[in-house]
Amino acid sequence: MTSIIKQLESASSQRSQTLYKLRFLHAPAVIYWLGFLFFNLFLFLPLYLFNLQDATFLPHGTWRDLFISRSNQDIFRLSLEISILLLIYPFIVTHLSKKSQKRYARTFYAIFIFALIYAIYETVTISLYHSTPVLFNDYRFFVGGIGFLLDGLRLAWWQLILIILVIVGVPWLLFQLTVRWFSQLPFHRLGLFTNVVAVLLLFYLVTFAVLQRHALAQTQTVVESLSAKLLENTRASMAARNELKIYADIQPETVYNYSETSRLFQHPNIYLIFIESYGSVLYKRPHFKDDYLKLMREMQARLEDQGWAVETGLSTSPTWGGGSWMAYTSTEFGLHIGSQPQFLAIKDQYTHQPYPSLGRYLQSQGYKTVRLAPIERKLTPSEQKGNEALYGPDQWIYFSDLAYQGPLYGWGPSPPDQFSLNKARELLQTDNHKPQFFFYLTQNSHYPWAPLPPYQADWRSLNNPDWKSPSPISEPISHRDNIKHYRDAIRYQWETLSAFILSTPEDEDAIFILIGDHQPPRVSRHADGFETPVHIIARDKNFVHRFESYGFESGLIVSDLEPDIKHEGFYSMFLRELVDAFGVSTTTLPYLESGIELGLPTPTPTPTHTTYKESSP
């Protein structure tokens, strides 16, 4: 009997505790602060999720890290505008009519959704390209790239429907949550403690905004301001817009008048090959460095054993993590192009008149200029016409010219680089009466660097219609996998490129220029800089060694990680040495380290939130 009574008492006590917990969870103050945290923390979720591999969930550090600024991109931060709107509402709600309360809730929702959209936009620009948002530059970049992105993803119909449901459903759910929170919470019952804490938080926010007003637009601060970010973005956009006026006034024909002042007597074939996402991060991160140096020694031995000489330097790219076309156009045009509006300004202007680029100079010296573009995606007629007018090659080799029926890879998608390069050479061998200037941007080292095509002893075997194209990676990729995929992609590119160089006929006088377009996204960091390796490879050792005067080092490895040149300075440097070695000039050709002088700020890495872990996977 006593045991039964004790069991009843225990059950009664448990029910009482459960009811107490339920009452506690339904207490107005608890719901108010849960809502306060949700509306704030949710805005910082995109940046945290995008950099999950580098951030810890909980904040840590000194008192300054906890209350002012920290590099760890956790979600425990406050939005100045959202917080103030939430904190003052309990004090004014009794003075508002029902209609005004609804207006307040809807206004809050509109500001919250706008802040969330901006947070997603900011996350993409910071995490992928390590640059602060500049809407004037970014909107044309995103609009122009969305089609390429969708083509590269090759999403199934159900995936597209799921994305649409998320885009529509999440804002709808947030709206329902916001309306219910504002309309059903009894703010008059929050209590004295909540009111005191709200006042203290308001004081903290106002004090922070006054003392840290210059940091409110940064992602490191504990309190961030949407207004400050919009103001900073507006200022940067106006500056970027003003910079375009400089591009309208350039006169490249007076700077690069090489066809009037120089002449080539010898005409080695020139291969300008940009390696996608080939950055100096390979030297600077422990989980890349040893493997990369081993690979370079292996490749160098292969080349030198067959009589090829190599010089290597580092070149500062105008872009970070993306925008390959800006990197290679800067290199060929001898002009710094660091944003999409700058690129489009040049494209708009020089589709109606020829730009005196590297390719056009070589055309004037009897070269046939060829560009290989094997991506399956078809450009619109206006896009294709614009590109052909801008670069002006004698021949484009497109996907349709390759007669490829095998599996496609990457974000293009496109055939394997091994096939594309060798097939292009085969096509060009039937028309070898002219020296050739050949341009190509590799495809298989594009993020996410997987799945990679197999490397085949006979490149023709890749053209197998029975092989299925692999599905692109669409699920989230861990940092460990990103590192492995990138290493594998760089090895694949070098296996392909070294074999392509070594298969050059012995009677062909050729110069190969291998250069990275930009740092790889997702596996590089602020401290890695904008530098990419550039290799000059030829059988003519005397010509190759000329570049040591610019800081280049013999072999495929550099010991000094300071940049030797800039992408926009390559044009004048290369032509200066090419003419001096194989031609004659009426004047000493100048080396223009920064290309055409524009008076723009030198591009430097933009400080961002990311704190990378150096542990090997």
68-127 pLDDT per residue, tens: 888 888 999 999 999 999 999 999 998 999 999 999 999 999 999 999 999 999 988 877
Q: Note the pLDDT of residue 163.
A: 74
pLDDT beyond 60 at 610? no
N-terminal to C-terminal alpha carbon distance within the chain: 63
- What is the mean pLDDT of the segment spanning 143-153? 58
Tokens coding 6: 């004790």
CA nearest to 531, candidates 286, 249, 283, 220? 283
Tens of pLDDT, residue by residue over 457-478, are 999 999 998 888 776 665 557 7
Nearby residues of 167 by Cβ (< 8 Å), 6 or more positions away:
none
pLDDT beyond 80 at 359? yes
Cis peptide before 413 (omega within 30 of 0): yes
Tokens coding 448: 């996410």
Dist. CA 446–CA 453, nearest whole Å: 13
Please name the helix (run of DSSP H) or strand (run of DSSP E) that holds residue 275, with its range, or none. Answer: strand 269-275
159 C-beta neighbours (distance < 10 Å), count: 12
Dist. CA 54–CA 133, nearest whole Å: 21
Phi and psi, residue 587, nearest 5°: -150, 160
Decide: helix, strand or coil at residue 69. strand
Domain ranges of the chain: 19-240, 264-467+477-579
Beta-strand pair 531-538/309-316? antiparallel
CA nearest to 262, candidates 510, 511, 580, 595? 580
Is the model more confident about 380 or about 416? 416
Is the model more confident about 22 or about 215? 215
Side chain identity at 281, as an amino acid letter? Answer: V
Q: Note the pLDDT of residue 609.
A: 35
Tokens coding 86: 């939430």
Q: pLDDT above 70 covers what percent of the chain?
A: 88
Average pLDDT, the chain: 87
CA nearest to 569, candidates 544, 590, 599? 590
Q: Which fold does the domain 264-467+477-579 belong to in CATH?
A: Alkaline Phosphatase, subunit A (3.40.720)
Q: Note the pLDDT of residue 144.
A: 60
Tens of pLDDT, residue by residue over 229-283, are 999 999 988 888 888 888 888 999 999 999 999 999 999 999 999 999 999 999 9
Q: Note the pLDDT of residue 611.
A: 34
pLDDT beyond 60 at 12? no
- What is the mean pLDDT of the segment spanning 312-339? 94
